[in-house]
Amino acid sequence: MEILFVCTGNTCRSCMAEVIFNEMSDIENIKAYSAGISIVSGSKTSKNAVQLVKDNFNLDISNRFAQQLLPGDIKKSNLILTMTEYMAEVLKDTFPKEKQKIFSLNSFVNISKDVSDPFGGNVEMYQRTFYSLKKSIELLISKLKEDSGK
């Protein structure tokens, strides 16, 4: 199973979500990836996101480049989780045949608000977003385990 996390530029939220999921999940045969709906070509993961991933998981993602969301990513992914409701609606409108697998991350785990975008913010903003993502992904992992009967 492939989970695709989607945000705007793939330099903050979705790439942190990808790492958080892949590091925290103990579910076999599920891998997370991430992409952005409107990336700047050649952009790398933001320095604050790099630092939070390093501090929490001892992983270096400083050389990671943003990935543009492509139609093939939508088709191959089993579950697509966006950082906002608006992004989920845009993707459902753009890919109507795939809408049954597109959700905002927080709505999928019954949290009412969107994941805030820390882009351009200070480290405290990134920390809030990181820990918000971590909480949502803990709920996601539990939900996936429940849904699979594990």
How far apart (Å, rounded) are the C-alpha atoms in residues 95 and 90? 8
Instruction: Say if residue 117 is exposed, middle or buried (CB neighbours under 10 Å; 0-12, 13-18, 19+).
Output: middle
Overall pTM surpassing 0.95 (yes/no):
yes
- Number of independent structural domains in the chain: 1
Question: Is residue 117 among the annotated active site residues?
Answer: yes
Mean pLDDT value across residues 69-92:
98
The rounded percent of the chain whose pLDDT value lies above 90 is 97
φ/ψ of 86, rounded to 5, equals -60, -45
Q: Could you list the residue range(s) of the whole structural domain that residue 96 is in?
A: 2-148
pLDDT at 150 over 70: no
Cβ-proximal residues to 118 (8 Å cutoff; 6+ apart), any chain:
12, 13, 46, 48, 49, 125, 126, 128, 129
Question: Is residue 128 among the annotated active site residues?
Answer: no
The one catalytic residue among 13, 15, 64, 114? 13
CATH of the domain at 138: 3.40.50.2300
Res 149: pLDDT: 76
Token digits for 90? 């845009």
The rounded percent of the chain whose pLDDT value lies above 70 is 99
Question: Is residue 64 among the annotated active site residues?
Answer: no
